[in-house]
Amino acid sequence: MGIALTAGPVVYNTVERIQMVLVGMIVVIVVGLGFVLIRGDAVSAMVSGIGSFGQMPDLDATGLTFISLLGALAFAGAGGSTNLGQSNFIKDK
């Protein structure tokens, strides 16, 4: 990466191109893993769950602990903060 930064005519454009390639690779990998790993019954449960908004999962039946649920919420918050930072970067561009 150091060679790419020093060899490029404008560092900003070089970094932006590298980011575009990395984002493209991530999209391809995530979509591919989605097709391989997501089961059909999980998709149908997700679609039927759209109509039952407002229910918390039964923690005893699912084996989900309250701490795991809080951890998922914390990671969702961190991802949201990253999205806000990226959108601010794009806006300023």
- Whether 38 and 65 share a structural domain: no
**Same domain as 86, residue 43:** no
% of the chain with per-residue pLDDT over 70: 78
Q: In which element (H, E) is residue 57 found?
A: none
| Separation CA 34–CA 39 (nearest Å) | 9
pTM, full prediction: 0.49
Number of domains in the chain: 2
Residues 7 and 35 in one domain: yes
| Backbone region of residue 80 per phi and psi (left: phi > 0; alpha: psi in -120 to 50; beta: other values) | alpha
Give the C-alpha separation, 72 to 62, whole Å. 15
Tell me the residue range of the domain where 22 lies.
1-55
pLDDT, one tens digit per residue, over 21-48 is 999 999 999 999 999 999 999 989 888 8
Kindly tell me if the per-residue pLDDT of 6 is higher than 70.
no
State whether 9 and 45 are in the same domain: yes
The confidence score (pLDDT) of residue 13 equals 79
Q: Identify the band that residue 62 occupies on the pLDDT scale cut at 50, 70 and 90.
A: confident
